[in-house]
Amino acid sequence: MANQCLPMSKLKQVLPSGAKDISFFEQVYEVVKLIPPGRVTSYGAIAFFLGTKMSARMVGWAMNAAHAMPDIPAHRVVNRKGLLTGKMHFETPTKMEECLAKENVKVLNDQIQDFEKVFWDPAVELS
57 binds DNA (CB under 7 A): yes
Residue 127 Cβ, how far from DNA at the closest point, in Å? 18
Distance CA(125)–CA(98), nearest Å, equals 25
15 binds DNA (CB under 7 A): no
Distance CA(77)–CA(30), nearest Å, equals 13
| Strand 77-78 relative to strand 107-108, pairing | unpaired
- Span interacting with DNA, options 38-46, 98-106, 109-117, 118-126, rule CB under 7 A: 38-46
30, 34, 38, 85: which one binds DNA (CB under 7 A): 85
What DSSP line would sit under 17-75, residue for residue?
SS-----HHHHHHHHHHHSPTT-BEEHHHHHHHHT-GGGHHHHHHHHHHHTT-TT--GG
Residue 104 Cβ, how far from DNA at the closest point, in Å? 20
100 binds DNA (CB under 7 A): no
28, 31, 35, 59: which one binds DNA (CB under 7 A): 59
Query: In this structure, is the dihedral angle defined by the CA atoms of residues 26, 58, 91 and 1, taken in order, positive or negative?
Result: negative
122 binds DNA (CB under 7 A): no
Site residues, DNA (CB under 7 A): 1-2, 4, 6-9, 23-25, 42-44, 47, 52, 54-61, 63-64, 66-67, 74, 77, 79-81, 85-86, 89-90
